[in-house]
DNA sequence: TAATCTTAGTGTAATATATACACTAACTAA
DNA sequence: TTAGTTAGTGTATATATTACACTAAGATTA
């Protein structure tokens, strides 16, 4: 309660504004989310949560989110996708006092991460979605909303261009779709559809990776996220 | 500049949190939005804007939005639909200082409005979307985002159950869809689709309203907004 | 060098869905 | 009784979706 008085939001009509970021990528076909250490006794000692921080008076929520992403993970990806997710204003989401969080969904290809951001450090690490539980604050909820949003975007748009490397095989792409949508897709129908929609373009080059037939490499058509219906 | 110093958000890490509400309904087949007077010289003297207000320290953004809807228009509709729209945090969206607004989309049937809320008063009035321009703050932008969201929801969900009276004819429903989606629908295909999806249920009663064949009355099936693809 | 293993890649038939389109039905009012 | 108005219906065609099983191409190893 002492720490709660610190912000005195009960007396002023002000709120502390924070951003929290659900930063996601796909590694080996599995959806991963970025966690950082949280150490806020007594409620969250030695805990973990989503990257985030306070919004400065001189910046918009979006600018704060971008700053914090670059802060906590030395990320400088051209291919990062970024959208506002939801604003969380439950009174007790932060036990220290009234903190309202504007949450963002950000996704980027694993291959775009610097070496030090791929490995676990004391600044942060990547976990699969089922592992991202018992997070500090309401970050379990934010994670759930983010996964839901990403799933919905994956179904109706080409957002996966931001989760794939520039060049990929259709099997790799299918695996990522299956991982995010939690469903099995028919290989032939999946390929037929993407090619008919001209969502992907064959590069005329092959990827060899193992004792089997090499796979054609593809890239996404166009340059931005477009509306298409995948399944 | 004097009024800007009043909030002193540059010095504290606090922001003023507001909610703005895009409250929409359909009258005679036309989509309408609720405006209220705004009188904030020097920037917005004798102006108009969306209903809104500050979030109290003791309430969530959603609670504030509901309170403000009931405040400004004596609305007590069972059928109101309500969702968070977007959080607007541009630095200069309010010339008085840093005010971050959590915007909400709310829709309800015209028939649910009390008489005094259907008529123009000094508390508020209804205008069609094209008329809702040159609003105070960034309310033109909020309106545009709200219309876009409603249009998207109309395409993929049964949100229109919250814009129609309990009982309606299929012609009336089609008119509302056409008005919101800004497209012409084929009468036969529209009816076929809604009936096949079992989205609407005939009541076995007719509505007489003019010198022509009376129309069958329908209601929406189920009780909540569901995902269906209309067009 | 032949056999085996693994993943890549392909086509078709059946079903379901979407589209385009024009007349009759039921009522009122003149 | 006629004219005017909106309600209501069916079918043929095109398009999209689904289900399904084998061959191709390379690496490895016996």
DSSP string, chain B: -HHHHHH-TTTSSEEEEEEEEEEEEEETTEEEEEEEEEEETTTEEEEEE--EEEPPTTS-HHHHHHHHHHHHS----TT-EEEEEEEE--TTSSTTS-EEEEEEEEE--GGGS-HHHHS--SS-EEEEGGG--S-STTHHHHHHHHHHHHHHHHHHB-GGGGTS-SSEEHHHHHHHHHHHHTS---HHHHHHHHHHTT-EEEEEEEE--SSS--EEEEEESSSS--B----
A31/A163 Cα distance (integer angstroms): 9
In this predicted model, what pLDDT tens digit does every residue of A217-227 receive, in sequence order? 999 999 999 99
**Which residue is it, tokens 């509505």?**
B207
DSSP string, B89-104: --TTSSTTS-EEEEEE
Q: How buried is residue B106: exposed, middle or buried, by Cβ count under 10 Å (0-12/13-18/19+)?
A: buried
Q: Is the pLDDT score of A7 beyond 70?
A: no
User: Closest nucleotide to residue B212 (Cα to C1')?
Assistant: C27
CB contacts < 8 Å between A and B, how many?
76
Q: Is the pLDDT score of A5 beyond 80?
A: no
Does the distance separating the beta carbons of A16 and B57 come in below 8 Å? no
| Backbone dihedral angles phi then psi of residue B117, each to the nearest 5 degrees | -95, -10
Query: What is the spatial distance, in angstroms and rounded to an integer, between the CA atom of A202 and the C1' atom of D26?
Result: 20
Q: Which residues of chain B have pLDDT under 70?
A: 1-13, 72-76
User: Closest nucleotide to residue A206 (Cα to C1')?
Assistant: C8
Footprint of strand D on the protein (CB under 7 A): A 186-189, 192-193, 206, 208, 210-214, 229, 231; B 169-172, 187-189, 191-192, 206, 210-216
Q: Is the pLDDT score of A212 beyond 60?
A: yes
| A116 against B185, higher pLDDT | B185
Work out whether strand A30-40 and strand A44-49 pair parallel, antiparallel, or are unpaired. Answer: antiparallel
* The pLDDT of residue A10: 40
Does the distance separating the beta carbons of A60 and B89 come in below 8 Å? yes
| Mean predicted confidence (pLDDT) in A32-56 | 94
Max Cα–Cα distance, chain B, nearest Å:
69
Question: Closest Cα to residue B191, out of B199, B181, B203, B179?
Answer: B199
* The pLDDT of residue A1: 35
A27/A7 Cα distance (integer angstroms): 40
Q: How far is A34 from chain B (nearest CA, A)?
A: 23
* The pLDDT of residue B72: 67
Q: Is the pLDDT score of A151 beyond 80?
A: yes
Query: What is the spatial distance, in angstroms and rounded to an integer, between the CA atom of A2 and the C1' atom of C19?
Result: 67
* The pLDDT of residue A74: 63
Query: What is the spatial distance, in angstroms and rounded to an integer, between the CA atom of A86 and the C1' atom of C19?
Result: 39
Beta-carbon count within 10 A of B130 CB: 8
B102 vs A contacts (CB less than 8 Å)? 87, 89
**Residue of B5, B56, B57, B157 for testing the chain A interface, max A β-carbons within 10 Å:** B57
* The pLDDT of residue B11: 43
Does the distance separating the beta carbons of A102 and B87 come in below 8 Å? yes
What's the pLDDT band for A8 if we cut at 50, 70, 90?
Answer: very low
Q: Is the pLDDT score of A4 beyond 50?
A: no
| Mean predicted confidence (pLDDT) in A161-175 | 97
Does the distance separating the beta carbons of A9 and B89 come in below 8 Å? no
Q: Is the peptide bond preceding residue A55 cis, with omega within 30 degrees of 0? A: no
Does the distance separating the beta carbons of B91 and A102 come in below 8 Å? no
In this predicted model, what pLDDT tens digit does every residue of A72-83 receive, in sequence order? 666 667 789 999
């Amino acid at each position: 309660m002492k720490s709660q008085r610190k912000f005195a939001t009960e007396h002023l009509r002000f709120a502390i504004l924070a951003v929290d970021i659900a930063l996601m990528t796909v590694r080996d076909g599995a959806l991963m989310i970025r966690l950082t250490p949280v150490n806020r006794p007594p409620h969250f000692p030695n805990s973990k949560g989503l990257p985030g921080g306070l919004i400065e008076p001189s910046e918009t929520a979006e600018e704060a989110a971008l700053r914090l992403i670059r802060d906590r993970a030395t990320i400088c990806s051209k291919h990062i996708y970024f959208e506002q997710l939801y604003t969380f204003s439950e009174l007790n989401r932060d036990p220290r006092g009234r903190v309202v969080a504007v949450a963002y969904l950000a996704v980027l290809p694993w291959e775009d991460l610097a070496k030090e951001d791929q490995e676990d450090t004391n600044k942060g690490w990547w976990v699969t979605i089922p592992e991202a539980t018992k997070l500090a604050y309401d970050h379990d909820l934010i994670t759930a909303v983010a996964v839901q949003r990403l799933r919905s975007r994956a179904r109706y748009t080409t957002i996966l261009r931001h989760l794939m490397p520039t060049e990929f095989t259709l099997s790799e792409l299918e695996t990522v779709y299956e991982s995010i949508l939690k469903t099995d897709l028919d290989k032939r129908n999946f390929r037929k559809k993407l090619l008919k929609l001209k969502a992907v373009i064959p590069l005329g080059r092959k990827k060899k990776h193992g004792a089997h037939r090499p796979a054609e490499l593809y890239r996404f058509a166009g340059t931005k996220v477009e509306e298409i219906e995948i399944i």
